[in-house]
Amino acid sequence: MNRPRLNRRALFRLGAGSGALAGAAAAAPFLLPGSRSGAAVADLAATPAAGTHDQHTTKEGHSPSATVGDVDLTRFKVDPSVFVSTFDYGETTRMADGTVVREWQIGAYDVEIEIAPGVSFPAWTYNGQVPGPTLRANEGERLRIHFVNAGSHPHTMHFHGIHSSFHDGVTGIGRGDVEVGERFVYEFTAKPFGCHLYHCHTAPLKRHIHKGLYGTFIINPDPTKHGDRAKARHPDRPESDAWQEFVMVMNAFDTNFDAGNEVYCVNSVAFHYMKHPIVVDRTRPIRIYLVNITEFDPINSFHLHANFFDYYDHGTTLEPTLRTVDTIMQAQAQRGILEFNFADHEPGLYMFHAHVSEFAELGWMSAFDVR
Ligand SMILES: [Cu+2]
């Protein structure tokens, strides 16, 4: 049976519009970093609508997947190449007893973003960007998040942390939904240390999350409580200076609202870090704050090529919860810290991607440029 049927890839192709994902290019060369060449591989567009096991020998080819061209980064508030190493520490003051108060201004806005060349998505955002800003604080500080809803629907901010019921940011509980035009200040103490997240928790939850209302929330461990191992994770300490830190949010987009994703990525743009590999210094260690917020699919995963890493589940321990692994999986809202280095490697490109192969082929494919 070879009857054509409309599958997710075909929909993606249709949704791509005017040739952005142009052309079957099975024989095209490997997509070079930074290439804007129209000859670049477009496996997405070349994929047959009907799936049989032998079709890859005729239509799909064997070239790495990518999109053609680049998104209009001026439409993003933050370029993913900048976002990946940007941490928002907000503004600080001190209370009379010396406790640091750390505050952020966060607004919910409707913004159209471009998630693959020519593919727009009508997002709901925190501060105009998807993911929202990576909020970072030190353990024990008093946090105040001044939230204003300037969007078109009720929203909240629900933090994965420890706080009161009133500040939980959930429809129908405590302060509950923040209606359009309303404000609310979420306030709680930063604990436990780790790699966390925040997201809108207004019903229907899957739609409010998937539309783009999520971000990473990092709490640095206090070395005075947790000893020397905490120092390397605390940016105020010289022991942390050597580390190259990155934040990666595994997300995906349902561009036709059929409760299935068409585009997968890290930090919102399909194949961005294949076209713009993340430059790393092989003499310095690497730490990744990794969060999975992918809606509609039960798991996502992270696989590193030619290397192994230590993993700290939720980032809430200073001893690895997994050692010497090259792949981990995360359900939605699971997150963790990855630590590794390329000290013994020759310089070059080293891939990392979802080892759910379909996700990789639909955008969640990335690379480090090790120098
Ligand atoms: Cu919402």
Centre of ligand 1 from the C-alpha of residue 177, in Å: 8
Centre of ligand 1 from the C-alpha of residue 109, in Å: 10
Centre of ligand 1 from the C-alpha of residue 263, in Å: 21
Domains of the chain, CATH where assigned: 1-69 (no CATH), 85-232 (2.60.40.420)
8-state DSSP, 40: S
Centre of ligand 1 from the C-alpha of residue 94, in Å: 32
Q: Is 110 exposed, middle or buried (0-12, 13-18, 19+ CB in 10 A)?
A: middle
Sorting pLDDT into bands at 50, 70 and 90, what band is 66? confident
Closest CA to 333 of 143, 241, 196, 157: 196
- Region 334-340: mean pLDDT is 98
Residue listed under structure tokens 């302060």: 175
Centre of ligand 1 from the C-alpha of residue 337, in Å: 27
How far is the C-alpha of 369 from the C-alpha of 81, rounded, in Å? Answer: 13
User: Cα 331 to the chain's mean position, in Å?
Assistant: 14
Asked whether the beta carbons of 343 and 318 are under 8 A apart, the reply is: no
Centre of ligand 1 from the C-alpha of residue 260, in Å: 19
Centre of ligand 1 from the C-alpha of residue 160, in Å: 16
**Other C-beta atoms lying within 10 Å of the C-beta of residue 273:** 26
Centre of ligand 1 from the C-alpha of residue 171, in Å: 10
pLDDT the model gives residue 69: 83
pLDDT the model gives residue 154: 97
Residue listed under structure tokens 């404000």: 183
Centre of ligand 1 from the C-alpha of residue 213, in Å: 6
How far is the C-alpha of 267 from the C-alpha of 132, rounded, in Å? Answer: 10
Answer yes or no: is pLDDT of 8 > 90. Answer: no
Asked whether the beta carbons of 333 and 216 are under 8 A apart, the reply is: no
Answer yes or no: is pLDDT of 52 > 60. Answer: no
Centre of ligand 1 from the C-alpha of residue 31, in Å: 37
pTM: 0.84
